[in-house]
Chains A and B, each alone.
Chain A
Amino acid sequence: EPEVTQTPSHQVTQMGQEVILRCVPISNHLYFYWYRQILGQKVEFLVSFYNNEISEKSEIFDDQFSVERPDGSNFTLKIRSTKLEDSAMYFCASSDLGGEKLFFGSGTQLSVL
């Protein structure tokens, strides 16, 4: 079965540093998302992306965050200046149709020291 792939699986960074989390969504999918999960807590929506633009973002997704689809396959999340509270598992997801099921990647565990 096709899957969403994320790299790296773990990322450790110093507070204030920039990180880029990478995702390759399923190839024929049109909708892309980033979610995050702080250890032991619920999965939280960050941003959705469709037709090369952000379609919705949460209050978590402030000016420090940005997303990009630099080519036909990758979908990236950039955090410009990481904070301790950004430590979480970041999941990329994609779906082929609006309102359909999300396929999640296996996540990138981000640790900000």
Chain B
Amino acid sequence: QQPVQSPQAVILREGEDAVINCSSSKALYSVHWYRQKHGEAPVFLMILLKGGEQKGHDKISASFNEKKQQSSLYLTASQLSYSGTYFCGTEIGVSNFGNEKLTFGTGTRLTIIP
């Protein structure tokens, strides 16, 4: 079952902050975040593993609440380059083969305007 992302779309002025949420009905092993610009491939942002994590680089950070099966992506002081569609991808477990598959959410379209 795919994770649910909210909001579906958000428009920000440059410099404003945004939070994108990702929720699952299943217990999660990890949450991955990717950004996809129009017509391009998804680009990796970060992975959060179960055990509760927060990560960040530059002005983009994320948290993973294992108990709630939720992850949130935080974008602070947004820049024009942050525009794109953000997808969370979830793993419910890891087999002996390693990274099996990600189930992606429907995406959140972020538009940054000057």
Contacts and interface: CB of A to CB of B under 8 A. Distances in A.
B100 A55 contact: yes
A41 B99 contact: no
Nearest to A51: B97
Interface residues of A, number: 26
Interface string B87-100: 10101001101111
Contacts of B100: 48, 55-56
B97 A43 contact: no
Contacts of B34: 43, 102
Interface in A90-113: 91, 95, 97-107
Interface string B11-55: 000000000000000000010101010001111100101000000
Contact of B32 (A55, A101, A107): A101
Contacts, number: 73
Given A31-B98, A48-B97, A103-B44, A42 B87 contact: yes
Contact of B41 (A41, A51, A91): A91
Contact of A44 (B44, B49, B104): B104
A21 B49 CA distance: 33
A31 B99 contact: yes
B101 interface: yes
B9 interface: no
A98 B42 contact: no
B97 A106 contact: no
Nearest to A4: B41
A72 to B, nearest CB: 20
Interface of A: 31, 33, 41-45, 48, 50-51, 55-56, 58, 91, 95, 97-107
7 contacts: A45-B103, A48-B99, A55-B98, A91-B42, A97-B98, A101-B47, A104-B42
Interface of B: 2, 30, 32, 34, 36, 40-44, 47, 49, 87, 89, 91, 94-95, 97-107
